[in-house]
Amino acid sequence: MARRCEICGKGTISGNNVPRKGQAKKKGGVGQHIGVTTKRVFKPNIVSVKSLVNGTTKTIKVCTRCLRSGRVQKVV
């Protein structure tokens, strides 16, 4: 099953891992040197929560941002 929030649609995205060596110029160094970029993956913080959907209790996958902002009514 996909790692995706069922409320806002937030999912896994890819990006680059950028290694930096050296001290920054504004900190007194000679400047940063950037190495070879490699691919990496950013994963959302997804939790399974029991919530009310159309009057029935259902388990859905929700990101913690939607849960904290109150977009989902959690059932205890």
Q: 0.75 cut: is pTM over it?
A: no
Instruction: Examine the pLDDT at 1 and tell me if it is beyond 80.
Output: no
Q: What is the mean pLDDT of residues 36-55?
A: 95
Contact 45, 8 (CB under 8 A): no
In the chain, domain spans: 13-69
The whole-angstrom separation of Cα 8 and Cα 74 is 16
Measure the CA angle with vertex 71, ends 73 and 65; round to 5°: 110
The whole-angstrom separation of Cα 6 and Cα 71 is 11
- The beta strands (E) that lie in the chain are given as 13-17, 20-21, 33-34, 38-42, 46-53, 56-63
pLDDT band at 2 (very low <50, low <70, confident <90, very high): confident
